[in-house]
Chains A and B, each alone.
Chain A
Amino acid sequence: MHLKTLTLTNFKNYDLQTLAFSERLNCLTGRNGMGKTNVLDAIYYLCMCKSHFGINDRLVMQRGADFFRLEGDFVREEKKEKIVAKVIPRKRKEIERNGVVYKRLIDHIGLLPVVMAAPDDTVIAREGSEERRRFLDNTLSQSDPIYLRHLVAYNRLLSQRNALLKQFHAERRFDENLLQIFDEQMQEPAAFIVKARQQFLENFEPILKENYAAISEDQEGIACVYNSKLLTENFADLLHDAREKDRVLQRTTIGIHKDDLAFKIDAHALKVFASQGQLKSFILALKLAQYEFLRQHKGIAPLLLLDDIFDKLDRGRVRSLINLILEKNYGQTFITDTDENRLQDILSAAGSDFKIFSVDEGTVDG
């Protein structure tokens, strides 16, 4: 699978820009703040119907514009897929596939699998469990459309249940039978999601270990463990037991929205014991493992977007990472970097098919 051409209109700092890509390796170079990352985010948007950075559409749009548009000509399993995103923030968001507008955006997710690695990814290891669930959900939603449907259903029911708890508190009443309706409705999506996450981890952990070993200079042992109360206990019982607590706190305190992943390095918590370098290696390994999992699961090579991953690395380390990417035979890959000469030298020596674009103030040469 690959992206042939991309046209951005009013997207971030681009007025109107069309880019034609190499099927293999594309490097966007230029100083920081010129718009390299925005090109990657545009590609991500066409695959996932939203920005990678979790920012809302109003901020994705160029300042002063009243709409933005992205158009991508993809080739997937030798078939052309024209994807267009037309967005009027706060009014309308339309994603078209070959001229047909999706009724529901979730139907598009997984058609064009994508993995993006960015400098702020270390939040996955450093911050709260939400980031790790986001990683799980991103991967599983792309690999299994049923998972995404159950996730949307679960989250909606959870919001409704929480709203109900707040309403009970405000009205000084408590209707257990009505709460029970939501508890029962949540069983099926929760059971599906726990099982999917558990199975995912079984397949994923060996891939992660392999990727970490390839990237890391030291050879520490790593682990990635799925934690959920729902693995060992019945969700209906858990909800029932937590009812008084939920009532007081006015929110649902148990469920798959409390699941977490525990990352370990030599049997210690990664967040506490890893050095900066180890942390960076771990996160990159996590993303490359996500890539490998999606490729195995979907039978097509996802797009790989690597944003500024060479930052503060010495030349030797950059060379070995690029060689790793070339060796591993990833599909179409997009890399941003500030140092054009460095990339040019390394890539010329490696002898692979590549294209370099230089990005300056929202315009691209290449």
Chain B
Amino acid sequence: MTANVPRPPFFPYFCGMNFSSKLIENAVESFAALPGIGRRTALRLVLHLVNQDADKTKDLTESLQKMRSGIRACEVCHNLSDERVCSVCADMRRDRGTICVVENIRDVMAIEETQQYRGLYHVLGGVINPIEGIGPDKLNAQTLMQRAAKDEVKEIIMAISPTIEGDTTIFYLTKNLKDFDVRVSTIARGVSFGGELEYADELTLGRSIVARVPYRAGE
């Protein structure tokens, strides 16, 4: 794969960024500011665009601009959306009595990927974490309460990562939901403790949503 890519003949020369063109240099800087893209990759991408038709670059920048100016949070569930209400919330075939509470948009994507879940979502936007300055007021917690107050909602599934902060968040939300007529459940998951070498296994999250269990405090 790498055989086709023109490799810089002398690496330090390129790392030193001795460009003859300020325009190239600026473009490289922009690419290199993206996560996971080093300066060498940035240079490769820029040179690739230079070698192609100008239209290709125009298509790329236009689609990015459109995406950025058009994308917004769904007014109901805070998922990413092109419209005021996202395609999940707008889909009348989905089970409107079940809401799955997740931390972020990536979790929605992971669960959708499994095609096992037919209910709605609620994207919290994080977990309660005072060390990071995140309290319930910084999360989409209030809108969840408003949704839970509606008659059609029967079950709320907490699909939140099994960390100390995740547990605290579930505990907080459940306490605030106790006056509503909803069943609260959590996804089946291994007991886990935060702090070290932990990563969210998105696939496991999606699969375990089917095998959910009723929530009881202190578990």
A residues apposed to B, CB below 8 Å: 93, 102-106, 149, 152-153, 156-157, 159-161, 163-164, 167, 175, 178, 181-182, 184-185, 187-188
A188 to B165, CA, bound (A): 15
Contact B135 A185 (CB under 8 A): no
| Selected A-B contacts with CB under 8 Å, 5 pairs | A103-B197, A104-B196, A160-B130, A178-B135, A182-B168
User: B60 at the A/B interface (Cβ < 8 Å)?
Assistant: no
Instruction: Please judge, given known A-B contacts A178-B136, A181-B171, whether A149 and B193 are in contact too, CB under 8 Å.
Output: yes
A153-B164, A178-B136, A181-B168 are contacts. A160–B129 as well, Cβ < 8 Å? yes
The 3 A-B pairs with the shortest beta carbon distances in the complex, nearest first, are: A163-B130, A164-B130, A156-B164
**Is B164 in contact with A157, judged by CB distance below 8 angstroms?**
yes
Beyond A167-B135, A175-B135, list 11 extra A-B contacts (CB 8 Å).
A93-B197, A102-B197, A103-B198, A104-B192, A104-B193, A153-B164, A164-B135, A181-B175, A184-B171, A185-B168, A188-B218
Bound Cα distance A157, B166 (Å): 11
> Which of chain A's residues have a CB closer than 8 A to the CB of B164?
153, 156-157, 160, 185
By a CB distance below 8 angstroms, the chain B residues around A175 are: 135
B70 at the interface (CB under 8 A from A): no
Q: Is B131 an interface residue (CB 8 A)?
A: yes
Task: Give B172's nearest chain A residue, CB to CB.
Answer: A181
Sorting the interface of chain B by its residue count into under 10, 10 to 19, 20 to 34 or 35 or more gives 20 to 34
Interface string of B25-57 (1 = CB under 8 A from A): 000000000000000000000000000000000
A8 to B172, CA, bound (A): 48
Partner of A106, one of B129, B175, B196: B196
Instruction: Give per-residue flags for B117-151: 1 if the beta carbon is below 8 A from chain A beta carbons, else 0.
Output: 00000000000111101011000000000000000
Complex Cα–Cα for A160 and B127 (A): 12
Bound Cα distance A188, B130 (Å) = 20
Interface of B is mostly: loop
Give chain A residues whose Cβ lies under 8 Å from the Cβ of B129.
160
Q: Which residue of A lies closest to B133 (CB)?
A: A167
Identify the B interface with A (CB < 8 A). Answer: 128-131, 133, 135-136, 164-165, 167-168, 171-172, 175, 191-198, 217-218
Are A104 and B172 closer than 8 Å at their CB atoms? no
Please give the distance in Å from B199's CB to the nearest CB on chain A. Answer: 8
Given known A-B contacts A181-B168, A181-B175, A185-B168, A159 and B131 have beta carbons under 8 A apart: yes
A182 to B130 Cα, complex, angstroms: 11
Which of B171, B193, B194 meets A185, CB within 8 Å? B171
For A178, what are the chain B residues with a Cβ–Cβ distance below 8 Å?
135-136, 172
Residues in chain B near residue A105, CB distance under 8 A: 196-197
A189 to chain B, nearest CB (A): 10
Cα distance A152–B196 in the bound complex, in angstroms: 10
Instruction: Judge whether B198 and A104 touch: CB under 8 Å.
Output: yes
Q: Are A104 and B131 in contact (CB under 8 A)?
A: no
Nearest B residue to A154 via CB reads B164
A182 CA / B172 CA spacing, docked (Å): 9
- The distance in angstroms between the C-alpha atoms of A103 and B190, with both chains bound, is 13
**With A and B bound together, what is the CA distance between A297 and B164 in angstroms?**
29
Q: Which residue of A lies closest to B175 (CB)?
A: A181
Q: How far is the CA of A163 from the CA of B130 in the complex (A)?
A: 5
A102 to B198 alpha-carbon distance, docked (Å): 10
A118 to B194, CA, bound (A): 31
Bound: A149/B162 CA distance, A: 13
User: Could you tell me the distance between the alpha carbons of A260 and B155 in the complex, rounded to whole angstroms?
Assistant: 46
Whether the Cβ atoms of A153 and B168 lie closer than 8 Å is no
Residues of A near B217 (CB, < 8 A) are 184
Q: In the assembly, what is the distance between CA of A253 and CA of B38, in Å?
A: 47
Give the distance in Å from the alpha carbon of A160 to the alpha carbon of B165 in the complex.
Answer: 9
Minimum C-beta distance from B192 to chain A (A): 8
Across the interface, do B167 and A185 meet the contact criterion of CB distance under 8 Å?
yes
Bound complex: CA A111 to CA B38 (Å): 41
Interface-central residue, B135, B167, B191, B193, by most chain A CB under 10 Å? B193
Q: Determine whether the beta carbon of A157 is less than 8 Å from that of B168.
A: yes
Q: Which residues of B contact A153 (CB under 8 A)?
A: 164, 193
Contact between A156 and B196, CB atoms less than 8 A apart: no
Evaluate contact between B131 and A163: CB separation under 8 angstroms: yes
